[in-house]
Structure 1
């Protein structure tokens, strides 16, 4: 992904610095390991994981919603182990669940929407 967000790129990138008969492509198929995640994205996932974990323990939240929040935590805590599509699916799920919870989930909803905007370009 490139285009409007130069801080986060997924996909092929080709750079040629002079020469003749150049052949070669660097394949960037997505994050591999913690180093591949931009620090800003990793920090936002960590912050969202902390907010969601707290919300998942809140007894005022309906049990089914707490279960959905808990199921999202592995992706939030270790996004580098998941493909970008998994991030998007998890964030969309969180956006829906947190929106239905209401005011108590506003910080989680805000972070999920920010991350969705960043990864969607």
Structure 2
């Protein structure tokens, strides 16, 4: 009888916990979402609100390509409630906005400036 168990890869999904001794061990704390201590500073929230207003106005510009307008509109939920979003989602949204704004030229300069300012604040 051939036993193939030794040839299988050692793959682990989920939590792995080993406890050696101690007392009062009651579980695992997962820190997976924004908590009260991870709130955005008020000046960052104000900048997101300003960017949301600029993007809303820019999305109404009749000269925009439909794809650009759609990108701007898809960014609005993140801009209007940034504290509810994961940091990665906020960053990705700002990067997309900066790219769209840069391609639009002078008309989108305020959006580009705000997006870049927020990116600098959030990454530092």
TM-score by length of 1: 0.72
Structure 2 match to 1:76: 79
Distance 1:110 1:28, change over 3 A: farther
4+ residue runs of structure 1 moved beyond 4 angstroms? Answer: 27-30
Q: 1:42 to 1:31 in 2, by over 3 A?
A: farther
Instruction: Specify the alignment match of 1:104 in structure 2.
Output: 107
Residue pair 1:95, 1:112 contacting (<8 A) in 2 also: yes
- Name 1:48's counterpart in structure 2: 51
**What is the rounded CA distance, in whole Å, between the counterparts of 2:97 and 2:54 in structure 1?**
11
The aligned length equals: 94
TM-score normalised to structure 2 length:
0.70
Could you list the runs of 5+ residues in structure 1 that have no partner in the other structure?
1-26
